[in-house]
Structure 1
Amino acid sequence: MTEEPKLLEPLATAVGFVLKLVIALLALGFVLSLFNSNVHVGWSSGNVCATDQNFLSSTSGDSTLDQMEFLPKGGATVGLHPQFCTSNPSGFQRLLVTFEQLPTLLMAVGSLLWLNALLRRAARDGVYTLRTTAGIKRFGWWLLVGSLVVSAAKAAAQAALLATLTGRATSTAASWLSTWSFPTGMVFTALGLFTFARILRAGAAMREDLEGTV
C-alpha cells in the first residue's frame, strides 16, 4: 500500500497545483474588484451581448462584400448570425449574464475540489479499495449530472437574455434548444469513470479474497 500513492502521480500533484492557482486567482480578482471598478468578479460589466442562433443569413462569394472583413471564395458561402448588444444593460440583463457564466465556473472549481479530495483519500486509504471505487463513481455522477444541469442553465440564461435584447416577450423552447450545447466530453468522461470504478471494484474484491486466503 505504501507504493499506491505513486500510482496517482502526476495527476495528484497537477490537480493540487491547479486548484491552488485557481483559488489564488479568484481571491485576487475579488480583492481587486473592491478597489478597481474595471474588475468584476461574479457580476458582468460593460456591454452585454447575445447571439441569435435561430436566424441565419447566408452570403455567397459571388456577392458584393466590400465592407466586410471576411471574403468567401467564389461559390463558397458564409453563415451570419446577428448579435444583439446593449451598452447600458439593466440589472436583470447583467444578472442573466452572471447566471450564464457563474455555473460553469462553479462546476469547474467544484470538480477540482472533488477530484483533489478523491485523490487524497485514495492516497491515504489505498487505490484498490471499495471506498475509493465508490468515490470515483460518485465523482462520475457529479460530472454527468452537473454538466447537464450547467449546460441547460447556461442555455436558459442565454435565451432569456436574447429575449430582452430582441423585444420578445419570453424565450421559447426553440431559442433554448438553439443555444444548448450537449456536454459530450463530460458525459463520456463520466461514463469512463463508471467503467473504471467497476474495474477497480473487481480488483479490490480480488485483493480482499487473496488477503483472506493468505
Structure 2
Amino acid sequence: MADQTDQRDALRPITRVAAVLFYSGAVVLAVFGIGALFSDDFSFLGVGAGEVCLTTSEYQIPIGSDTSPVPNVVHLSSELARVCTTAPTGGAIALGLLCSLPNVVLFLGASWMVLGVSRIAGRERVFSEPVVASLRRLAWWVVIGGVVAAAIQSWAEANLVALIIPDSHSDAPRAFMTNFPWGVLFAGVGVFTVARIVRLGVRETRAG
C-alpha cells in the first residue's frame, strides 16, 4: 500500500499538468468558439470577425506584381503568405475550421489520454497491463491521428486557397508533404517504446 501511495505521489505532477492542458484547452475552445458564433469581435481558428484567414505556403499563391498585386494576400515572408476573404461563404467557413480544428482535437485527445495513463498508473501499479494498454492507445492516437489531421488540414487548406484565389497553385498532396507531422510520428514511436519497456517490466515482475 505504501509503494502504491508513493507511486501516486510521484505521478501527481504529470496528472496535474495533463489535467491543466486538457481542461484549459477545452475551455478556450468553448469560449472562443461561442464568441466567434455570436460576436463579430472574436476570431476562432482563423474564422470570425467577418472573415476567414489562413497562413499557407508561398508556392500556392500566384505571382503578382507591384502594380497588380494578388488580392486577399499578405506576403509574410519568402515562404509564407496570409490569405483572407472578408465575405466568407459557408463552405469557406467550414474549410477554415478544418485547417486548424483537427490538430486541436488531436491535442485535446492526447492530453485526455495522458491524464488517463497517469490515473491508471496511480490506481494500479506502474508496471501493469492496464498501463501498457493505455500507452498503446495513446501511441496509436498520436500516430494515426497526426497523419489524419495533417491530411484533413492539407485538403482543407488547398481547397480554401483555391476558393479565395481561383488561379492559385493549390495542391493538396504537396501541402500534405509540407504539413507532414514528422514530430508527431516520432512522439508516437516514443510512446510505443515506453509501452514496450513497461511491458517488459510487467514480465520481469511476474517472473520475479
The alignment status of 1:47 with 2:51, answered yes or no, reads yes
Unaligned runs of 5+ in 1: 58-69, 71-77
Q: Is the 8 A contact 1:53 1:175 kept in 2?
A: no
Hey, what does 1:67 align to over in structure 2? none
CA shift in 2, pair 1:82/1:10, >3 Å? closer
Hey, what does 2:158 align to over in structure 1? 159
Superposed displacement of residue 85, structure 1: 3.0
SS at match of 1:48: strand
What are the superposed Cα offsets for residues 126-162 of structure 1, whole Å, 9 maximum, x if unpaired? 2110221121111111100001110111011000011
Superposed displacement of residue 123, structure 1: 0.9
Hey, what does 2:13 align to over in structure 1? 10
Q: Could you tell me how far apart the structure 1 residues matched to 2:117 and 2:8 are?
A: 12
What are the superposed Cα offsets for residues 82-105 of structure 1, whole Å, 9 maximum, x if unpaired? 554321122211111011121111
1:21 to 10, 19, 24: 24
What are the superposed Cα offsets for residues 48-103 of structure 1, whole Å, 9 maximum, x if unpaired? 3454532587xxxxxxxxxxxx9xxxxxxx73655543211222111110111211
Count of aligned residue pairs for this structure pair: 190
With normalisation by structure 1, the TM-score equals 0.75
CA shift in 2, pair 1:4/1:146, >3 Å? same
Unaligned runs of 5+ in 2: 64-75
1:36 to 32, 39, 43: 39
What are the superposed Cα offsets for residues 6-26 of structure 1, whole Å, 9 maximum, x if unpaired? 332421121112223223333
Hey, what does 2:149 align to over in structure 1? 150
Superposed displacement of residue 33, structure 1: 5.1
Give the partner amino acid of 1:29.
F
Specify the structure having the higher radius of gyration (Cα).
1
Hey, what does 1:95 align to over in structure 2? 94
Hey, what does 2:68 align to over in structure 1? none
Q: Could you tell me how far apart the structure 2 residues matched to 1:122 and 1:112 are?
A: 15
With normalisation by structure 2, the TM-score equals 0.77
Q: Could you tell me how far apart the structure 2 residues matched to 1:24 and 1:79 are?
A: 36
